[in-house]
A and B are shown apart, each in its own frame.
Chain A
Amino acid sequence: MVHLLNSKTFLKAILPLLLLGVLFFVYYVFNPSQSSFFLPCPLKYTTDLYCAGCGSQRAIHHLMHFEIFAAFRYNPILILSIPLLIYALIVEYLNFAFGTKHRVKLFYSNVFIVVYFGIAIVYSVLRNIPEEPFKYLAPLN
């Protein structure tokens, strides 16, 4: 705990938490569907195509209000990734703030990388097909 008295260490420990707090606040209070100041996806804006990330901001908003189904409807891949992302971000945070060298085992398997991003690419293609089963992969309008 003596380390925390060192101002640089203290800043490194506190800044990511502050930033996260601000993001939580913004995404909890404002619904991206109803507010105009959220950044639209550049790809959607220029080409009208959905990418793997489209709907993420709205999904996060609904998830924070425990509306799991609505969140899932906007971006299932993000919702399914959240447990892993939270775990990985905690590890990153500890490494950054306290200089530890923890590693997320899964990230050091190239099989995982190929499968995860393979799914993301296939998913990006499928959600642009405006037909029956696939259109449910696109975010709600």
Chain B
Amino acid sequence: MENQPSTPPDNNLVWAILCTVLCCLPLGIVAIIKSSNVNTYWAQGNYEAAQKAADDAKKYSIWGAAIALIGIVLYVLFVIILGVGGAFAEF
């Protein structure tokens, strides 16, 4: 193989695992599949496809984290609104 890079692209599997054991987000599952595609393409010598799958895996992990973050912010706002509402309801 000409131009064989020495290290495979980062498949970001650690984020997929964290998604699974911490929040079980559907995007985590897509990230897992993309991560394993990185390995498959790499083993086949298809470095371009491996890089693309790695970029996808990263993209889905970031989206997963962003959705989780938005969920947390909405949840905190929800709790605050309920708390404030509850405080007013006592009067």
Contacts and interface: CB of A to CB of B under 8 A. Distances in A.
A43 interface: yes
Interface string B10-50: 11011001101111100000001001101110100000000
Contacts of A85: 14, 17-18, 21
B88 to A, nearest CB: 18
B75 to A, nearest CB: 5
A13 interface: no
A44 B44 CA distance: 40
Contact count band on A: 20 to 34
Contacts of A41: 23-24
Interface string A83-111: 01100110110010000010110011110
B35 A113 contact: yes
B79 A37 contact: yes
Interface residues of B, number: 25
Given A41-B24, A52-B21, A52-B24, A107 B35 contact: yes
A120 B7 contact: no
Interface string A41-75: 11100000001110010000000000000000001
A129 interface: no
A124 B79 CA distance: 28
Nearest to A92: B14
A128 to B, nearest CB: 13
B32 A117 contact: yes
5 contacts: A41-B23, A52-B21, A113-B32, A114-B36, A116-B17
Interface of B: 7-8, 10-11, 13-14, 17-18, 20-24, 32, 35-36, 38-40, 42, 71-72, 75-76, 79
